[in-house]
Structure 1
Amino acid sequence: LSAGAKLRVFREPWVKTPPPADGNESVHAFLARRFGVGIADAFADSIVSGVFAGDAKALTMRGAFPRATDAEAAAGSVIKGMKSGGKPGKLISFRGGMQTLVDRMAGDLGSSIRFNSEVTAIEPHENGVTVRVNGESIEASDVLLATPPGKTAALIAPIDQESARDLRTIRSARVAVIVTGFREEQVRTPVDGFGFLVPRREKMRILGSLWTSSIYPGSAPEGRVLFRTMMGGMHDPKALTLPGRALLPIALRELNDVMGIDGDPEFIKVYKHDPGIPQYEAGHEEIVKRVASRIGPRVSMIGNGVDGVSVAKLLELYERGLSFQPQAGTRAGVAG
């Protein structure tokens, strides 16, 4: 960064240029307006890649990072608003991994969960909703769809074709995660932080790498380090067409360029997430509102295609009472 770009950051509290009235300002445009083009060019890509694997010039700031837009609206400055907004959140997990949360929720729901059961149709009627699953009909008072936008579109198409078309316009970033484990002495760079994200101008195929064993102590055996390296996303969709054995050497080579690693990993896992991460691009908020108003009140939506891609955000929605509550008895939830 140039000295001018760094100094421009300190002017942010005095920037008076208002955001566009339509609320569809991109992440890149927001950072350029508040902090300067130099900061936007240097950091917008890596920030967006790290969370959404998306395009910083397509995702809206309001949809992707609402805390920042709320801070500006409340204090007239992102810096001032963030300072007065309380302590920032932190990354946490369970000793047994995120599967602990899934197992606990499944235990609470008990026998009401039906695994490997394909829902072929939902049919709202005057007295409730009929759910067609595995050739069987289940009657419910209402249905909560916790499915990706594309699957939700397929289920609601018989109810409202226009809503289905709207949902199909929500794009998703397909992501591959290459998990590798090494002995501590193999890694020449100290692994004592969060990890790193890669802006596109670096011309690398990996989006970044999280130092999982540093973020979550206990996630790797003593004397070992664990990396989660991401590839694909909106800028490199072809990566997901490659088999895992082809992705691995690319990820290892570029990880080595940054970290300085001697030898081969002791542990390897490659995961592909398809459809991946929904993209909150211009018009997303309006789409969700339109669809919700058309298909309700007996059918509603939740999930990362609606509001928030993090587990924390989904738990927040749960606390608001928007998620499936088995004690209601006649509610049905569809996930997958």
Structure 2
Amino acid sequence: PMRSVAVLGGGIGGLAAAYYLSRCTRVLVLEGSSRFGGWLWSCRRSDGAVFELGPRGVRPVGAVGRNTLNLVEELGLEPEILPVTYSHVASQNRFLFVRGQLWKMPGGLGGLLRTTPPFSRPLLPWLLREVFVARGKAEDESLHSFVSRRFSSELADIAVDSLCRGVFAGDCRKLSVRACFPDLHRAERSRGSVLLGMLFGSGSKRDVSPGPLAQRAQRERWAQWSLRRGVEALPEALVHHLEQSSTVELHTQAPARGLERTHSGWTIHTEGGELSADHVVSALPAKALGELLPSSCGPLVSLLQQLPYATVAVVNLEYLGSVLPVQGFGHLLPSSEDPGLLGVVYDSVFFPQHNSPDRESTRLTVMMGGAWFQEVFGDPDQVSPDLLLSRAESAVSRHLGIRQSPVWSNVALHRDCIPQYLLGHAQRVEQMRGFISDARLPLSLVGSSYDGVSVNDVIFSGRIAVEKLLEAQK
């Protein structure tokens, strides 16, 4: 029987796994840095303003979205929640910066019927044509190729290119459709068409029944949500909950240095000595896990090391007064416009509750780099925060016509923060889990490196891993 599980990594994936495990076994969480929460990181200023250094809003949609809301409710965070509905201006208006100017993304049937720049023709005919496009032959395909083939190359060049930069900070010509947007891939496989799959469903992974909070989100038509003290309040609430549990031990500044197989599980080498566990849940980045595994796991290690990561610079800016020329969620740029600049988010439009109560201000976040970081800014270790700040300010001035200087700013450089699911990613993850199962390794893979990069995906990956592990114990 399993007496203890070690969770490596105290980001949201590791904390979620520990939460689901804590009901039935002893859990040891080892986090290498000085704080829990990983990329969920909120900067709280003394005047009450909140700036997100990582993800800023969580989508409530699908099984994974309902699962997160159920967790939020179980942790007692419902009074803290800040919802944004679909009717909100931030949900209605999303922009693209193309050919030196801002364009509103077409929405609703009217937007599909008319030609709306930057597109050269209406989108509806492309959508309708898609129903008759034959299924692709390849096992996997890049997003750019998939959308060019099924819709149009213009849609791929502008909209999909921008979207992939906004979501994955990555290049749609290299990212895998099967791994990044599994619903699109499944719809084509099962229904022969993305449109038909979206209309009639295409059989997705297991469902999650909505608790009262998730039901409220459906009823009120939330598009996204955050928490009053920022999204970092979620990992903080998990840590608080786990600290109350008699079965959980939490350690920061306790990086694992190596893993060794024993007859009953693992010996974990740390700076402070050796620990033993019957099972290891790794919520570390794939390459970090690869560095810990013994040489007997060679094939697994080489698969783990094949996963590349993107580095993103996040610059938070605050301007006095209400200075935006448009109201909306923000704008993205295709790589053809400015490869180093991924997009600008208009934070104060959708979460005005995070503004300082003392003054009227506009909060923006500029995202830079991603798959283009090295080529545009050079080595992340050498790049100066001042350079990133001035690039962000000049983008805001150029794109939005905001000429004044910000009254406050923060530059965060996130090294290797988003795994890049390149062609064949899903097959490689299957091979990893195949190796683990064939070698009977007491190891589970959790986190953004494998089954989705969103906050919801990562939390759900922790839950699924725990369910499979407990199932196997029976």
**TM-score, reference length from structure 2:** 0.64
Asked if the contact 1:46/1:199 (under 8 Å) is kept, the reply is yes
Alpha-carbon distance, 1:229 to partner: 0.8
Is 1:131 equivalent to 2:247 in the alignment? Answer: no
Higher normalized contact order (CA 8 Å, seq sep 6+, divided by chain length): 2
Among 15, 19, 24, the residue aligned to 2:132 = 15
Q: Once the two structures are superposed, what CA deviation does each residue of 1:54-113 show, in whole Å capped at 9, x if it has no partner?
A: 111100111111122223334332223223459898322111112111111112222601
Following the alignment from structure 1 to structure 2, what is the Cα–Cα distance between the partners of residues 55 and 308? 16
SS at match of 1:201: coil
Asked if the contact 1:229/1:251 (under 8 Å) is kept, the reply is yes
- TM alignment of 1:93-132, pairs within 5 A: 93-110=226-243, 112-132=249-269
Among 29, 44, 48, the residue aligned to 2:145 = 29
Following the alignment from structure 1 to structure 2, what is the Cα–Cα distance between the partners of residues 324 and 174? 32
Is 1:154 equivalent to 2:291 in the alignment? Answer: yes
Q: Once the two structures are superposed, what CA deviation does each residue of 1:227-247 show, in whole Å capped at 9, x if it has no partner?
A: 111111112324234211111
Asked if the contact 1:149/1:168 (under 8 Å) is kept, the reply is yes
Is 1:250 equivalent to 2:391 in the alignment? Answer: yes
Asked if the contact 2:316/2:410 (under 8 Å) is kept, the reply is yes
Is 1:44 equivalent to 2:160 in the alignment? Answer: yes
Among 186, 192, 198, the residue aligned to 2:333 = 198
**Aligned AA (1:71):** A
Is 1:284 equivalent to 2:394 in the alignment? Answer: no
**Aligned AA (2:362):** V
State the match for 2:345 in structure 1. Answer: 210
Change in 2 beyond 3 A, CA 1:43/1:159: same
Change in 2 beyond 3 A, CA 1:2/1:188: closer
Following the alignment from structure 2 to structure 1, what is the Cα–Cα distance between the partners of residues 394 and 468? 44
Following the alignment from structure 2 to structure 1, what is the Cα–Cα distance between the partners of residues 446 and 462? 9
Deviates more, 1:4-13 or 1:117-126: 4-13
In the alignment, structure 2 segments of 5+ residues that lack a partner are: 1-117, 203-217
Alpha-carbon distance, 1:317 to partner: 2.2
Q: Once the two structures are superposed, what CA deviation does each residue of 1:207-249 show, in whole Å capped at 9, x if it has no partner?
A: 1011122233312225222111111111232423421111111
Asked if the contact 1:130/1:138 (under 8 Å) is kept, the reply is yes
SS at match of 2:138: coil
**Aligned AA (1:273):** H
Q: Once the two structures are superposed, what CA deviation does each residue of 1:158-208 show, in whole Å capped at 9, x if it has no partner?
A: 3412221221111111111011111233x2413x31101100121353110
Please, what is the CA RMSD of the aligned residues?
2.5
**Aligned AA (2:228):** R
SS at match of 1:218: helix
Change in 2 beyond 3 A, CA 1:250/1:294: same
Following the alignment from structure 1 to structure 2, what is the Cα–Cα distance between the partners of residues 282 and 3? 30
State the match for 1:311 in structure 2. Answer: 455
Asked if the contact 2:127/2:195 (under 8 Å) is kept, the reply is no
Is 1:229 equivalent to 2:366 in the alignment? Answer: yes
SS at match of 2:225: coil
State the match for 2:76 in structure 1. Answer: none
Deviates more, 1:125-134 or 1:46-55: 125-134
Change in 2 beyond 3 A, CA 1:132/1:251: same
Asked if the contact 1:8/1:36 (under 8 Å) is kept, the reply is no
**Aligned AA (1:201):** S
Change in 2 beyond 3 A, CA 1:269/1:130: same
Is 1:166 equivalent to 2:303 in the alignment? Answer: yes
**Aligned AA (1:207):** L
SS at match of 1:82: helix
Asked if the contact 2:303/2:432 (under 8 Å) is kept, the reply is yes
Change in 2 beyond 3 A, CA 1:3/1:272: closer
Alpha-carbon distance, 1:323 to partner: 8.1
Change in 2 beyond 3 A, CA 1:42/1:159: same
Asked if the contact 2:311/2:417 (under 8 Å) is kept, the reply is yes
Asked if the contact 1:54/1:173 (under 8 Å) is kept, the reply is yes
Change in 2 beyond 3 A, CA 1:324/1:91: farther
SS at match of 1:90: strand
SS at match of 1:116: coil
Q: How many residues are matched?
A: 324
SS at match of 1:199: coil
SS at match of 2:234: helix
**Aligned AA (1:50):** G
Deviates more, 1:169-178 or 1:215-224: 215-224
Change in 2 beyond 3 A, CA 1:49/1:73: same
State the match for 1:299 in structure 2. Answer: 443
**Aligned AA (2:195):** I
Change in 2 beyond 3 A, CA 1:138/1:12: farther
Among 307, 317, 338, the residue aligned to 1:180 = 317
Identity %: 27
Among 396, 404, 409, the residue aligned to 1:268 = 409
Deviates more, 1:71-80 or 1:147-156: 71-80
Following the alignment from structure 2 to structure 1, what is the Cα–Cα distance between the partners of residues 222 and 178? 18
SS at match of 2:171: coil
State the match for 1:334 in structure 2. Answer: none
